[in-house]
Amino acid sequence: MIWQEARIDSERPSHRQPRQAAVVHRNVGHEHMRITHFLLFCTLLSSAVASGGVWYDGDKIAPDRSHQKAKDGLGVQLQLTNDASFFDDWALPHPPNLKITHIAQVGDTIYSVLLFFGAGKDKKGESNVTFEGRVLGPDGNSLQEFKDVRVVHGPNLAGEYDLGLSEGHMIAQFSKASLKGTYTFEVTVTDHIKKVSILLLQKLERK
């Protein structure tokens, strides 16, 4: 069996400020250099947020991947970690260290990490982005589904390309009874202001 839940961290700030996570690179279509937020968490996260609402790999626009996409100015990225301290470290002044994992052993707890930028805002400056998630087992069966998990909700003072961390995340614990094989974490992010939905997938191998 695999146990899951959706958890909301209401006390954690959803966005990081420029002084906390930034890198300089050239934007497509611009003559000047500007500071844009960068995923400084580990070498596997080499994408930056840039003007135009797209992900960058270095100074090149990154194509959509199953775990990382952008549409109509909304960018989302799904990662998996076994380090719960990342969520607390997000609020600290220094860039957090995201330890990505694609492998789970018996007794491991796995957390979904949903990063985003470009959430829509209404006339009051409020955002309403949620996700629906599920985990598919090696046999293709859906183990549990989650509805209306908050990504960002209410007043949103973040800049258009500030990097945000979802307010809610999924948790999965693996026991001896859980099947060995490949698990698929599936998340559909919906921006209810922009009327945009994006499907993301991540794979995890249970050894």
For 41-58, write each residue's pLDDT tens digit.
Answer: 433 344 445 456 888 887
pTM: 0.80
Query: Is 4's pLDDT higher than 80?
Result: no
Facing residues of 164 across strands? 15, 116
Query: With left for phi above 0 and alpha for psi between -120 and 50, is residue 29 left, alpha or beta?
Result: left
Structure tokens at 79: 């990662």
Mean pLDDT of the chain: 79
Q: Taking residues 63-79, what's their average pLDDT?
A: 94
What is residue 79's predicted lDDT score, i.e. its pLDDT? 96
Whose CA is closest to 115, among 30, 26, 21? 21
**Which of these ranges, 9-18, 86-95, 97-106, 138-147, has the smallest mean pLDDT?**
9-18
For 162-172, write each residue's pLDDT tens digit.
Answer: 889 999 999 99
Helix (H) / strand (E) element for 127: namely strand 126-136
For 25-89, give the DSSP string.
Answer: EEPTT-SSEEEE-B--S-TT--EEEETTTEEEETTEEPPPBTTEEEETTEEEEEEEES-THHHHH
Q: Which amino acid is at 141?
A: N
Residue 147 neighbours by CB under 8 Å, 6+ apart:
132
